[in-house]
Amino acid sequence: MRLLILGDVVGRSGRELVLRELPRLRERFDIDFAIVNGENSAGGFGISEGIFNQLRDAGADVVTTGNHVWDQREALVFIDREPNLLRPLNYPKGTPGKGAGVFTAKNNAQVLVINAMGRIYMDAMDDPFAAIDEELALCPLGEVCDAAIIDFHAEATSEKQAIGHYFDGRVSCVFGTHTHVPTADHQILGGGSAYMSDVGMCGDYDSVIGMDKAEPVNRFVRKIPTARFTPALGEATISGLAVEVNNKTGLAEKVSAVRIGARLEPALPDFWL
């Protein structure tokens, strides 16, 4: 099974590139299942129902989010009628939406997707380790689902690595989102799970994590805000991850970074070329 994962979509430039390239990538590489993190897709902050529908129409089987999921207030309403939109699993009970689901891939495989959020330098949340453990107990890999994927939206690389090692061998892939900078550590862990600390963003990299660089730099230098943060609107780059999953075991066999666009060194999975 072929999995394609795209990192945080930031603003209009990132969104337009994903909407253009995702259908091409699905067709070119015969992708069975695609996940896109869309939490910054609406003006850099949150996601709207219209944008969610655009991402789905472009080929995203599941759209994950993170700490910005409620920045567009309409998300509090439409998330309950959109099962393919996930918010972090470890929000308090009673929060709208859901943090995990089982979805059918193009090859008819049953894919468990879990969206969870870290606690280091982030808002206070329930324990992500316990929350994910509970989901995997209900839907174990190889018994109830054919593949299991975790989008761990977190700040600290150490926490992301700990999640990766803790769930190694029990899921197909653990990937990090949130920092908007792709790491160079994509690998298959000892138990057979694909891992990458952060898959990066889909947006303009001539920026400060996707925002027009003038105001963030100003705030670091002068410590005085002078304007709102706005997404950078230059030519965007797609960043993500490609994973080949064994159809029998549900574990990863191959993994590669994916980068397409203006500024970063290009990368495509050579095992699919």
Residue type, 154: A
CB 117 within 8 A of CB 90: yes
DSSP structure class, residue 263: S
DSSP 92: P
- Give residues with Cβ within 8 angstroms of 40, minimum separation 6: 8, 9, 10, 11, 14, 46, 68, 201, 203, 210, 231
Q: In angstroms, rounded to a whole number, what is the distance separating the alpha carbons of residues 79 and 85?
A: 6
Q: Which residues pair with 155 in a beta bridge?
A: none
Active site residue 68: yes
74 phi, psi to nearest 5 deg: -60, -20
Catalytic residue from among 68, 178, 180, 186:
68
Answer yes or no: are the C-beta atoms of 242 and 134 closer than 8 Å.
no
The helix/strand/coil state of 273 is coil
Structure-token pair, residue 273: 């070329």
Tell me if 40 sits within 8 A of 10, measured CB to CB. Answer: yes
Of 265, 264, 268, the residue nearest 254 (C-alpha)? 268
Q: What are the respective helix, strand and coil percentages of the chain, to the nearest 5?
A: 25, 30, 45
Tell me how far apart the alpha carbons of residues 229 and 214 are, in angstroms, rounded to a whole number.
9
Catalogue the active-site residues: 68
